[in-house]
Structure 1
Amino acid sequence: MLAPSTPQSCLPAQRWCIASPPPDLVAAIAAATGLSPLLARVLIERGADTPERAALHVNPEAMALPDPLEAFPDLAKSVDLLQRAIADGTAIAICGDYDADGMTSTALLLRALGHAGAQVDYAIPSRMQEGYGINCRIVEEFAAAGVGLILTVDNGIAAYDAIARAVELGLEAIVTDHHDLPAKLPPAGAILNPKLLPEESPYRGLAGVGVAYVLAVTLARSQGQLAGLTGPLLELFTLGTIADLAPLTGVNRRWLRRGLRLLPQSRLAGVQSLMQIAGVKDDRNAVKPEDIGFRLGPRINAIGRLSDPQIAIELLATDDPSTALARAMQCEAVNRQRQQLCRDIEREAIGLLDEDRADWQQHRAIVLVQPHWHHGVIGIVASRLVERYGVPVFLGTHEDDAGEHLRGSARSIPEFHVFEALEFCSDLLEKFGGHKAAGGFSLVAKNLDAFRDRLSRFAHRCLQPEHLKPLVAIDTRADFPDLTSALYQEIDSLQPWGIGNEQPVFWTPNVCVLAQRRVGENHLKATFVQPTHPQIELQAIAWRWGEYLPLPPRIDIAYKLRENSWQGRTSIELELVGVRAVNQAVEPSGAAVLATNPTAGPNPIAQITGPSEPSVESPTPLSSELQQTEFQHQGRAYACRFWSVRDELRIRNGRGQTLCVRRGRRIGMLHPGSGAATEIDVTRSPYCHIVKAAIAALESP
């Protein structure tokens, strides 16, 4: 149903950044890759701005990778330490993390070291009691249990005291991590961290599971035991890398292409069960990053956030189908709990922020603490608030019953570096860590006001008022005829898209809203048409945008393309990421027949007159909203709709031809479905009779 333009129509506050690469460079990239100019523009914005780089982006398998043993200074030392421990029968203990990256890393090394004959166990700190990273308690328990070598995964780079305690107790330590480097590195026997590599290294963007994968594969290769191991390890690498929002560039892009192709026929019982529970189809050539990002990853992460990480480790490490299914079902149940907690906290946070908008806009950062919020999910809510408000968000909760200690999570916008902000506040914090886009922290409650003020000082150094809106980064303009299945297949051939290599975002100006409604809990579903191409109507979904109903009748839209399959039919849809008011100075050309007329009255076609045929009249007014129906005329099937905002009637026949006629006009336009439209005198037979039949069908109860 088309909602009328009313004073209640509102649009999200956004800032649009529309790329404009040089036309000659676009032509060169298109020629070098064979891609359309639209996709050539996208590649340029992804850094593939030379024919050579573009060719590697299209075919990452052609990338010349340096030997990991040469790229990572301590990799040979790490392999040597592991080989000696395995040969001597020394117990090895893995200290992992409770997020998807840390748990897939732990499961990966459990498999690899077990395959190599190691005596290996693991531990993960308590999220609620201890927080992130290895600590002295874990080190001392390892020592008491006879462990000789500690191996951290996805943590440890900032754990100076814990690693120093391990050395003091006579334990060897290998730190594998990917988080930003502190001023003082821990005294481990070996450190593997891509942040220690040059910026241009293809390994620079590895997540924790990527570092674990490099170590595991190098160890297995050195022992001649790589056969049969690479596939399962690559599946875990793929899950952890995408779930951790690691950049899908460099070696990640190359390895993920392989891993995504392996997942539909996974050799891991846990992955098979998780895909079954999450509804990820196994009949495709490859799983897509969004399947992991929105279905598989959240179910793994939910365990670490709300339950016992051992559930997820067993899921990913077991080869027993019954155990795998049981653990997958536990993941599903906990994920449903996580979803409800997120909804409740987000709703409460929005209420608080909307009441005091001026305060956080003045501070240029959001800092909210509530005692009853669950620490395990506030990071997710922080991400949603960044998406909504476009400012850095720091959410916290009480760490103890007395409320004397707080723990929080931070998420950010491109212009604000979370880790540097936390370093700027380090004297006020008990513990912190993270990277540019996200981080975690803890502090004494009495320091909260000082922490908020210090963050504001940091924010004023790097953020201007114009930054305080969600950013919509747009690659290029597209018209609706460009948005074909062929274009979608071209986009899909360049998978994986994701963090650091985002899916293309297109924009189209001055589109008209044919219909809109709320679906699900708070999503917006709409139908759009571009006046210059009225024969093409496209469906769109906007996640969590129900509050913006109704959209105005005419808007500019920014969107991604998605494929929708329903009852055996596949169509191209839009996923809205941005809308804005139409720039009245930019008007489409050649749209006289379907020019928008938002001030038109509520009545439909009043009459279509002509000298040789009787007039066609609508004896009673139709509703001011969109009306549509199907009818039969002289044995043929038609579909019709009347759009009051434009005083326009459209009639489509079974051959895909569409007749468009506006009230009071005798000349309509017949659109053949492809090619140019032709003018039609709708007062003449057979068109006037078809129009009469359409009006009668619309008026029938």
Structure 2
Amino acid sequence: MIAQPPPPSKRWITRPFPDSVSQRSAITSLQQSLNISPFLAALLVQRGVSTYEEAKAFFRPEISHLHDPFAMKDMDRAIMRLQMAMLPERQEKILIYGDYDVDGTTSVALVYSFLKNYHAEIDYYIPDRYKEGYGISTEGIAWAAANGFSLIIALDCGIKSIDRVAEANELGIDFIICDHHRPGDTLPDAAAVLDPKRDDCTYPYKELSGCGVGFKLLQAFCLYKEIDLELLYPHLDLVAVSIASDIVPLTGENRILAYYGLKYLNTAPRTGLKALIKIAGFSRELDITNVVFGLGPRINAAGRIQHAKDAVRLLLANSEEEADEFAMAINKHNNSRREFDTSITEQALAMIRQNETMINAKTTVLYDASWHKGVIGIVASRCIEHFHRPTIILTQSHDKAAGSARSVPGFDVYEAIEECADLLEQFGGHTFAAGMTMPVHNIDAFRQKFEEVVSRKIKDEQLTPLVDIDLPMNFSDITDKLARILKQMGPFGPHNMQPVFMTDDVYLASEPIIMKEKHLKIAVKQGKSGHVLTAVGFGMAHYVDQLRSNKPFSICYQIEQNFFNGNVSLQLMLKDIKCSA
């Protein structure tokens, strides 16, 4: 086991207090119309909520505010092709094809489970992560042709599959592509290409998940066929899981979809998700964080360790007995994934720490042919926790080097990889996460070029972990009412993160407690105030000696409700501590 040094120090950035004339007017108006404190009103104005109507839409999203799906480029063509396939005289076989991660498997489960109610000739296909790789595969098209499918609906993939779609066309198979990744310069020659990130698409919201795009297809299908949308909405539990797990912004349409999806997830989840919630050990209401860390990794583990079809089978399970069986199998996969994750992360960190050039670099690019391909993306994220910089972890796959990239806030790793495209065979992804393959002999050249590109583009401050602080806070202002209102500002996620507050002049109120040798639990008070709060800092045990100096310190934190033995109390979840010099 590698000795773990303290994590790197963090930059605290406090957002500007809304102080213009119009912002102060908005704070006063919100304070009066919502009967809230000026502090909470300022927090809302910081997030672009300035009027009573905006606050109403923020706290109580309306499903009727979803955009018209036909505003998406090619949606009319997609529905016409789907309707043609379903004509009684044609009865074409439709294949629902999705990627092997959470977004892809939830997309397949969503579209398949809904459309099978209206069309009998339908099946689904998930590519094998290791044999076929990401996206549309030649094997998948061959399977579709051999089994008589003439229409493929591709979900969470396909936007760059120009050659594969051309292969399908030659075999008489049409594609409807539902993707949310960035397109290349040329689009596939498909019957319809649904992707709000298309340059020529004027759809008003660009940040849907892949499952979200699939939902818009079904929404359009319902409108065209005059099917009651209330029959579609219960499927939003899957959309919420995809939004949380794919780390897309929790703004606009995603916020509405996640808000209602969480309601279904907490009150009437599909049988498979209910089994997964039970085996993950959740007994209270789920939020986005629970999904990200409890459900998402288990669904992902199916494709990482075995085959992602197991995840779809779970999500489509009808009986509780069947669902429990699949959930247990997936949970075992997740336990195996954790073992691989821990072992490979230790190896990767050791490789960096034993190489002075790597320690001082602005990027991390590591390769080991024996590493498990299913966890390299997780390992990249783990490395960033210790060395805060764009990171790519590579392993061998089919005589090639296959890699997963992760980035740091504010830096577009996809663009940096794009500048190294001459050394790659294929790549794709987002601003903060991407995948790629390259010849093994190109790894050293790629490492050098990627380091050069990132060094030229990245700002020094982006190489230091960042804590975004919303507002300064006095302990005397932390009340149960404040905690309840803060909770209603969810669902939280990118672009609507859970508020973080900062307090100075903090002292220990009692002896600190070390939990499991690495976590910190402290009772704190501000100044000479008698108002004592409990604070917990995961991975912060290294601060204990400094805190015992009896000097004042500063903390930044989130306010949460702690449930224990039937009691509810307020608790501060520490993000960082700054001790006096």
TM-score normalized by structure 2?
0.91
Contact 2:73 2:200 in 1 (8 A): no
Distance 1:531 1:352, change over 3 A: farther
Q: How does 1:540-689 map to 2 (within 5 A)?
A: 540-546=535-541, 549-553=544-548, 554-582=552-580
Q: Which residue of 2 aligns with 1:500?
A: 495
Is residue 388 of structure 1 aligned with residue 390 of structure 2?
A: no
Is contact 2:66-2:256 (8 Å) kept? no
Matched with 1:182 is: 184
Aligned residue number for residue 420 of structure 1: 415
Q: 1:234–1:255: 8 Å Cα contact kept in structure 2?
A: yes
Indicate the structure with greater helix content.
2
8 Å contact 2:520–2:537 — kept in the other structure? yes
Matching of residue 274 in structure 1 with residue 276 in structure 2: yes
Is the 2:518–2:541 contact (alpha carbons within 8 Å) kept by the matching residues of 1?
yes
Aligned to 2:114: 112
- Contact 2:419–2:453, Cα closer than 8 Å, also in 1: yes
449 and 11 in structure 1: CA distance in 2 versus 1, 3 angstrom threshold: closer
1:316 and 2:318 are equivalent in the alignment: no
CA pair 46-377 structure 1, distance change in 2 beyond 3 A: farther
Distance in 1, matches of 2:363 and 2:333, equals: 31
CA–CA distance in structure 2, aligned partners of residues 103 and 138 of structure 1: 15
Q: Is the 8 A contact 2:18 2:46 kept in 1?
A: no
How far apart in 2 are the matches of 1:288 and 1:21?
28
Q: Which runs of 5+ in 1 are unaligned?
A: 1-7, 585-701
Instruction: Structure 2: give runs of 5+ residues left out of the alignment.
Output: none
- Provide the rounded CA distance (Å) in 1 between the counterparts of 2:280 and 2:6: 35
**What letter is aligned with 1:312?**
A
- In structure 1, give the amino acid aligned to 2:80: D
User: CA separation in 2, counterparts of 1:167 and 1:493?
Assistant: 49
Give the deviation of 1:360 after TM superposition.
Answer: 3.9
Q: CA 1:476–1:322 in structure 2 vs 1: closer, same or farther (change >3 Å)?
A: same
- Which residue number corresponds to residue 28 of structure 2? 31
Equivalent position SS for 1:127: coil
Aligned-pair CA distance for 1:175: 0.6
1:182 Cα deviation from its structure 2 partner: 1.3
Deviation at 1:174, TM superposition (A): 0.6
CA contact (8 A) 1:300 1:312 kept: yes
Aligned to 1:531: 527
- Aligned partner of 1:677 in structure 2 is none
Q: Give the C-alpha shift of residue 139 in structure 1.
A: 1.0
Q: 1:336 deviation in Å?
A: 1.6
Instruction: Report how far residue 370 of structure 1 moved.
Output: 2.3
Is 1:307 aligned with 2:306?
A: yes
Q: Structure 1 157/548 Cα, relative in aligned 2: closer, same or farther at 3 Å?
A: farther
Task: Note if 1:440 corresponds to 2:439.
Answer: no
Q: 1:577/1:412 Cα in 2 relative to 1: closer, same or farther (>3 Å)?
A: same
Alignment correspondent of 2:460: 465
Change (3 A) 1:318 1:391: same
Whether contact under 8 Å (1:134, 1:156) holds in the other structure is: yes
Instruction: Give the structure 2 partner of residue 670 of structure 1.
Output: none
User: 1:166-217: CA deviations, max 9, x gaps?
Assistant: 1122211111010112122111110111212789955311100001111112
Once the 2 structures are TM-superposed, how far is the Cα of residue 425 of structure 1 from its aligned partner? 0.7
Larger radius of gyration, structure 1 or 2?
A: 1
2:396 pairs, out of 395, 398, 403, with 398
Provide the secondary structure at the position in 2 that maps to 1:101: helix
CA distance in 2, matches of 1:289, 1:335: 19
Q: What are the residue-to-residue correspondences of 1:160-559 with 2, within 5 Å?
A: 160-196=162-198, 202-226=204-228, 229-281=231-283, 284=285, 287-356=286-355, 359-360=357-358, 362-400=360-398, 404-513=399-508, 514-520=510-516, 522-533=518-529, 535-546=530-541, 549-553=544-548, 554-559=552-557
Per-residue deviation, 1:476: 0.9
* Structure-1 separation of matches of 2:167 and 2:5: 61
Q: Which amino acid aligns with 1:375?
A: K
- Alignment length, in residue pairs? 567
SS of the equivalent of 1:376 reads helix
Task: Please tell me the residue identity of whatever aligns with 2:99.
Answer: D
What's the offset of the Cα at 1:45?
4.0
Deviation sequence 1:559-596 (CA, Å, 0-9, x none) = 112211111211111112222233x7xxxxxxxxxxxx
In the alignment, what sits opposite 2:83?
Answer: 83
SS at match of 1:503: coil
Letter in 1 for 2:91: G
Deviation of 1:531 after TM superposition, in Å, equals 1.9
Q: What is the Cα deviation at residue 55 of structure 1?
A: 5.0
CA distance, structure 1, for counterparts of residue 182 and residue 491 of structure 2? 25
Aligned-partner Cα distance in 2 for 1:216–1:575: 40
Aligned partner letter, 2:506: V
Contact 2:69 2:216 (C-alpha < 8 Å) held by counterparts: yes
Please say if residues 92 and 148 of structure 1, whose CA atoms lie closer than 8 Å, have aligned partners that are also in contact.
yes
Show the counterpart of 1:611.
none
In 2, are the aligned partners of 1:158 and 1:185 still within 8 Å (CA)? Answer: yes
Tell me by how many angstroms 1:74 deviates: 0.8
- Per-residue CA deviation, residues 395-435 of structure 1 (Å, 9 max, x unaligned), is 111225xxx52111111112321211111111101111101
Partner of 1:133, secondary structure, is coil
SS in structure 1 of the partner of residue 563 of structure 2: strand
Deviation at 1:50, TM superposition (A): 6.8
**CA separation of 1:532 and 1:459: change in aligned 2, threshold 3 A:** farther
CA contact under 8 A between 1:198 and 1:204: conserved in structure 2?
Answer: no
Q: Using the alignment, how far apart are the partners of 1:422 and 1:399 within structure 2?
A: 19
Of 35-44 and 78-87, more deviation after overlay is shown by 35-44
TM-score by length of 1: 0.76
Residues 407 and 441, structure 1, Cα contact 8 Å, conserved in 2: yes
CA distance in 1, matches of 2:184, 2:239: 25
Q: 1:565 to 1:267 in 2, by over 3 A?
A: closer
Q: In the alignment, which residue of structure 1 is the partner of 2:136?
A: 134
Counterpart Cα distance in 1 of 2:381 and 2:389: 10
Cα deviation, 1:10-59, whole Å, max 9, x if unaligned, reads: 67411121111333455334334334333334334434467765553234
The answer as to whether partners of 2:29 and 2:51 remain within 8 angstroms in 1 is no
CA distance 1:233–1:64, shift in 2 (3 Å): closer
Give a deviation string over 1:360-390, Cα, whole Å, max 9, x none: 4643111122233211112122223323332
Aligned AA (1:576):
L
Partner of 1:678: none
Structure 1 residues 354 and 572, CA gap change in structure 2 (3 angstroms):
farther
- In 2, the alpha carbon distance for the partners of 1:388 and 1:335 equals 23
Deviates more, 1:325-334 or 1:460-469: 460-469
Q: SS at 1:151's partner residue?
A: strand
Q: Which moved more, 1:358-367 or 1:318-327?
A: 358-367
Q: Which residue of the partner structure matches residue 696 of structure 1?
A: none
- For residues 327-379 of structure 1, the C-alpha deviation after alignment (integer angstroms, 9 at most, x for no partner) is 111122211222222222223323333344x5346431111222332111121
**2:23 is equivalent to residue 22 of structure 1:** no
Partner Cα separation in structure 2 for residue 420 and residue 382 of structure 1 = 18
Instruction: In structure 1, give the amino acid aligned to 2:466.
Output: L
Q: Does 1:72 align with 2:69?
A: no
Cα RMSD (Å): 2.5
1:145-164 alignment runs, 5 A limit: 145-164=147-166
Is the 1:86–1:118 Cα contact (8 Å) retained in structure 2?
A: no
26-35 vs 108-117, which deviates more? 26-35
